[in-house]
Structure 1
Amino acid sequence: MTNIIDMQDVSWKRQQEAILSNVNWKVSRGEHWAVLGLNGSGKTTLLNMVNGYIWPSTGKVNVLGQQFGKTDIRELRKSIGWVSSSIQERIKETAFAVDVVVSGKYASIGLYEDTTEEDYEKAYQIMEQVGCRHLTDRTYQTCSQGEKQKILIARGLMASPDLLILDEPTSGLDFISREELLSTINHLAIQKDAPSIIFVTHHIEEIMPVFSHMLLLRQGTVFDKGERSDLLTSSCLSAFFDTSVRVEWHRDRAWMTLQD
């Protein structure tokens, strides 16, 4: 399997309205991608399709070498780590952090299966890896927003996924918490056994150096895709946002401001 994601001429309609149109996108094994787009650009719809929660109206979707329509989507999801606000909202506030992490093995919200000592040992190791081991016995409701996001990332890693999707994971974080979380994600991505990571944002300064490739999504279509250095330019992003912007680089990260 060389392609983690392979979408060919994919479109999706809701009540006759085109939400995604003619999307072609391939993610190769070992690549980490950032998906950039404004609110309403189709980012969440695209992710829901990768996870098999919706099916294309037209076109073909292959995820982890499995073609939609010819595979068990429930089994496929066990190989995909998923971090999003929709999951955070469904977690029981009184659940212990370590139990939230262990539930990721079963791709469930809450623990309903018989667990083992090995499950918890693995959870402790992952929590140490992402910097939240000290939260083990804390209830979810007592954790800060940044701590909750780290717990969810640990949960997403529990099943040793081949693909980890981070849907705007820094949303709601203050500057310090955001930078700490971005550092955690960057550290995770450079590990030898790291899954391919899809990082979704609408802030270009959050696109860390480890994200070598980018997909620019606008109004449900692929505006452009390719290497980060080619797309994070003043000319490209001015055309993408349809407004004049300036991109400046600092410590291998791009920062954008409106042109005077």
Structure 2
Amino acid sequence: MRQHTQPHTRQPAGRVVVALAGAGVRRHTTDQLILDGIDWTVRSGEHWALLGANGAGKTTVLRLAGALMHPTTGTVEVLGHRLGRVDMRELRAHIGLVSSAQKVPLDATGHTVVLTGATGTVQPLWKKYDAAVRERAYELLAELEVKELADRPYGVCSGGQRARLLIARALMADPSLLLLDEPFNALDLPSREDLIDTMHRLATGRPELATVTVTHHLEELSPAIGHALLLRDGRVRAAGPVAEVLTDARMTSCFGRPIEVVRHEGRWLARSGRRSG
């Protein structure tokens, strides 16, 4: 029987936190190839954007990085531990995951939502939360600038408020890695800009934290994003510093149509150019 090791809780600055080597994923029911030969490395303190059209494999890459599934081929190491040789549940305790699809009780207050991040549960486990844990939840509400939501039911919060509550919840475990799966989904312009500001402050205030953000729109990237991974049909089209990856040519190759990219004061804008002929 294979022994599972216990994950480390902290990663030194610059250390590899995610490493995919030849990682592939095939859907067993249909034999469909979802990912093919993905090589990708994320280090502590780096902030990555994960981009590609629908069906490119973005969410699957995020699930591998979040220790939510195993690769069919190749290897995946997260926080220094290879998937398949570590207790996945223990490993996930050191990874923050934010997704608009997360199930949260609508009657739970903002403070309760954040508290559940300490136990990784949907419903609160009240006996597990001592005074220090409860106080930490209040501190995170303040850090994310939503302390006024402490007693407000989650169900009446706006999309932007919910996103920041979920980020605060993910930070309760003091993760080394924060994964965000389309956190800007369905947000209006002011809420989007508030969340971008939040992500920028978070990156500045937590220099060891690594983040990976899945998005469809370059306009949603904060100036803190320094790296990008482009996926198309389950394969890497480009990966590296944003200045080298988010170019007209590489975005055009990734999305299969002419794309023009502009950067202004650390923010990005992409639009579809005219087709020739």
| Corresponding residue for residue 93 of structure 1 | 106
Q: What are the equivalent positions in structure 2 for 1:73-92 lying under 5 Å apart?
A: 73-87=88-102, 90-92=103-105
Q: What are the equivalent positions in structure 2 for 1:98-137 lying under 5 Å apart?
A: 98-114=111-127, 115-137=129-151
Query: d(CA) in 1 for partners of 2:66 and 2:43?
Result: 17
> Mind listing any 5+ residue stretches in structure 1 that lack a counterpart?
none
Query: d(CA) in 2 for partners of 1:91 and 1:205?
Result: 28
SS at match of 1:190: helix
1:172-217 CA-partner distances (Å, limit 9, x unpaired):
1001110111110111011145521111101012122211111111
Say whether residues 1:33 and 2:48 are aligned partners: yes
Say whether residues 1:156 and 2:170 are aligned partners: yes
Contact kept? 1:246, 1:259, Cα under 8 Å: yes
| Corresponding residue for residue 6 of structure 2 | none
Q: Please report the RMSD computed on the Cα atoms of aligned residues, expressed in angstroms.
A: 1.2
1:4 paired residue among 17, 23, 34: 17
Shift of 1:52: 2.2
Shift of 1:234: 1.4
One-letter amino acid of the structure 1 residue matched with residue 65 of structure 2: V
2:70 paired residue among 55, 66, 73: 55
| Corresponding residue for residue 210 of structure 1 | 224
Shift of 1:162: 0.4
One-letter amino acid of the structure 1 residue matched with residue 111 of structure 2: V
Larger mean CA deviation between 102-111 and 153-162 belongs to 102-111
Equivalent pairs counted in the alignment come to 258
Shift of 1:112: 2.2
| Corresponding residue for residue 247 of structure 2 | 233
1:41-68 CA-partner distances (Å, limit 9, x unpaired):
1111111122222211111110000111
Shift of 1:86: 2.3
Query: What is the percent sequence identity of the aligned residues?
Result: 37
Shift of 1:126: 0.7
Contact kept? 1:189, 1:195, Cα under 8 Å: yes
> Mind listing any 5+ residue stretches in structure 2 that lack a counterpart?
1-10
SS at match of 2:101: helix
Contact kept? 1:188, 1:194, Cα under 8 Å: no
| Corresponding residue for residue 258 of structure 1 | 272
Shift of 1:117: 1.0
| TM-score, length-scaled by structure 2 | 0.90
1:211-237 CA-partner distances (Å, limit 9, x unpaired):
111111111111110100111121221
| TM-score, length-scaled by structure 1 | 0.96
